[in-house]
Amino acid sequence: MQEIEKKYLIKKLPNLENIPFKTIKQGYLNTKGEPTLRIRQIDNEYFLTYKFTEKEKKNKDINICTEYELPITKKAFNHLQTKIDGIMIEKQRYNINIGKYTAELDVFTGKLEGLIIVETEFPSLEEANNFIKPDWFGDDVTNDKKYRNSYLATNIEK
């Protein structure tokens, strides 16, 4: 599946009091290049993800990725977890409606506690280019590698 996405820091945390969240743990098996291989636990479901980033020269502020997500067992997840590069990322994900889009707000816990990033996906490049971010969105970090989960996983001490 192709993803067209933009990623931001946030200026101010919105009120999350009545918004449900999912607990996510994820680790990376190939952080030295592409494709990115990720294992992920979302609550009580487990996945292996293959992700390849396509560079769009005309739209340098947008990431275009092809991603395949396959379900795996808890046993397979636990086995692969011992082989990850760096740390296991832990976060709570809130899906927040912003007009016709959904903002995925990730509040990191564990070793990355204090980091909060929001990402929005779009059905087309045109919509991504015309997106007007809400007031609580901060700086655009879409193409700043320091905010990629695979980078965060391998550039912090265990």
- Asked whether the whole model's pTM tops 0.95, one would answer no
Catalytic residue among 8, 28, 46, 94: 28
Q: Is 8 noted as a catalytic residue in this protein? A: no
Secondary structure of 43-60 in the HEC alphabet?
A: CCEEEEEEEEEECCCCCC
Tens digit of pLDDT per residue, the chain (158 long)? Answer: 778 899 999 999 999 999 999 999 999 997 677 788 999 999 999 999 998 776 554 455 666 778 899 999 999 999 999 999 999 999 999 999 999 999 999 999 999 999 999 999 999 989 999 999 999 999 999 989 899 998 999 987 65
Tokens of 93: 């994900």
Question: Residues 126, 62: contact at Cβ < 8 Å?
Answer: no
Domains annotated for the chain, with CATH where assigned, are: 2-154 (2.40.320.10)
Cα separation of 91 and 75, whole Å? 21
